[in-house]
Amino acid sequence: MSKEKAIATPTLTNYYLKKYGFSFKKSLGQNFIIDVNTLTNIIEAAGITKEVGAIEIGPGMGALTEQLARHAERVLAFEIDSRLEAVLSDTLSDYDNIEIVYQDVLKADLKTIIEQTFSEGQALKLVANLPYYVTTPIIMSLLTSDLPLDSLTVMIQKEVADRMAAKPNSKAYGSLSIAVQYYTNAHVSFIVPKTVFMPQPNVDSAVLHLNYRQTPPVEVKDESFFFEIVKAGFVQRRKTLRNNLNRHFKGVIEKEKIESIFGETGIDGTRRAESLAMEEFATLSNALFIHQ
């Protein structure tokens, strides 16, 4: 079978599935891309050039890996399913700038592997078609692990992408939006219909582009406490900020103290969390921090 054609077609994907007797594992959320235009758009959204080192999670049959190898200087991919080793060594045999590590990316020593694979100071971009079931744990791990990455460009469930990029006063806005946007500038690059996958998922996907910030957009006295306040604010979305914080700090901070902090900060306790910008959450958490 000629490899001049891209892997990401229904014909070639079926060819390799049959050749290796490969069956999809639902537990791993495997959905392979069978549309080259989608991959071209992902490469463009990620800003992949010949100077860039690319990192991929979940190469599957190598459809995106192949396009990354054609456009990037080097590709490092992490694949949890060792059954794909024979498939990938075949589909990607034409490329000498790919290294595949058969490990769970959440358990791998990413920092060390990245240092061993790429040149020091090289621009590194992570690009991936992430399994739906583990999207948030992977993204939050990447954002909080102090890795030398410039950006993440990930294809994920559209609903989750919308939540991560959401602004205040929208239904999608919540603690996840603030957590992601504390570390990155987030925007949805484009929507991906479920028809470009094999097998087809039940919902559409979106490509989310996350550019790492040099410093967070707000100053907080304690990061973990800041995120605790954000989560507490959203624990019951329809309740007021006052109700949620009183419930969260019951027996720790008196209601009167919380009320006085609303007065000091100028934040109305009758508002719902979805109306607060990140800056307001930072102000609130800094004021509450000394009283916990």
List, as residue ranges, the binding site. 31, 33, 58, 79, 104, 129
DSSP 3-state assignment of 70?
helix
- Angle between helix axes 255-265 and 241-248 (nearest 10 degrees) is 140
Q: Detail the residues annotated as belonging to a binding site for S-adenosyl-L-methionine.
A: 31, 33, 58, 79, 104, 129
Report yes or no: 142 and 114 within 8 Å, Cβ to Cβ.
no
DSSP 3-state assignment of 186?
strand
Report yes or no: 175 and 276 within 8 Å, Cβ to Cβ.
no
The residue ranges of DSSP E strands in 41-118, in sequence order, are 53-57, 74-78, 98-101
Per-residue DSSP letter, 213: P
Report yes or no: 192 and 205 within 8 Å, Cβ to Cβ.
yes
